[in-house]
Every structure is written in C-alpha cells, then in structure tokens.
Structure 1
C-alpha cells in the first residue's frame, strides 16, 4: 500500500511502502514522476518527465508542506518498521 499524503494542483504526493528511511516523497502527475529528498534540504533526487517549470511548482509546494510531509513520513515508516 502506498499512502497518499496530499493531492494538489493535479500532483499526488506519496511514498511507497517498501521505501528507505531517509525522508523523501514521490510526486506523480499523469505519466510523470519525481522523487525529492526532504532532508537536509528539499532536493530533486530523480525526475521522469516533469519539465523545469513543473519542478519549480512542485518545489514550491514541498516548501509549503515539507514539515507536514516529514511528520507523516516518520509516522508511516515508524508504523511499518514496528509491524
């Protein structure tokens, strides 16, 4: 199961259940996907199809919701590790 943390402006922000512990988030829209590190700073890790303009918009959204995503990531990964 892949929890979705938020949907905004057509972007879906989520993680995958078999993920590593370093805080990050996947962003999906249509046929495009990107992975961003959330710590120590917001940084693009991988990009599959997003144009620079879209990456800038995604980065702005991550700056807006970054603390919320980090908290949710920790909650989810902690539950997964404890199972």
Structure 2
C-alpha cells in the first residue's frame, strides 16, 4: 500500500507501508523518483531519473510541506 500524502505540480508524495521506521517520504515525477528523510532534517536519501533541477524542486516541495507530511506519517503509522 502506498497512500498519497499530497500532489503538487508534477509531483506525487507518498509512503510505502511497512518499509522502514525512520520518517521519510517518496516523491514521484513523470521522469523518476526520489526518497527524502524528514528527520532529523529534510535530506535526500536516494533518487532515480530526476535531474538536479527536478531534485531541487522536489526538495522544495518536501520542505514547504514537512509539517503536513509528518502529520500524515503519524496518522498512517502511529507516533
């Protein structure tokens, strides 16, 4: 299961259920995907197929919505 947290422009942010306990979010784009850690701060974990510009845009989306993403994580996985 991979519930969508939000969509913005070409990006879809989502979680994979039962992947790993450290808070993170996946972000997909028509050209590729990335995974960002949310704690202790937003950081790129991995990416495939995205240009440097697309990664910067993806990071910006994650940073602007970190609170919303963390709230969704807690609702989905528990505290």
TM-score range, shorter chain: over 0.9
TM-fit CA distance, 1:30: 1.7
Q: TM-score, normalised by structure 1?
A: 0.88
TM-score by length of 2: 0.92
CA-based RMSD of the aligned residues comes to 1.4
- Structure 2 gaps of 5+ residues are none
CA distance in 1, matches of 2:75, 2:22: 13
* Matched pairs, number: 79
Q: Which sections of structure 1, spanning at least 5 residues, go unmatched?
A: none
Q: Where do 1:48-67 residues align within 5 Å?
A: 48-67=48-67
Q: 1:15, CA displacement in angstroms?
A: 0.5
Partner residue in 2 for 1:33: 33
Instruction: Give how far 1:39 is off.
Output: 0.6
Per the alignment, residue 22 of structure 2 pairs with 22
Q: Take 2:34 and 2:68, find their aligned partners in 1: how far apart are those partners?
A: 19
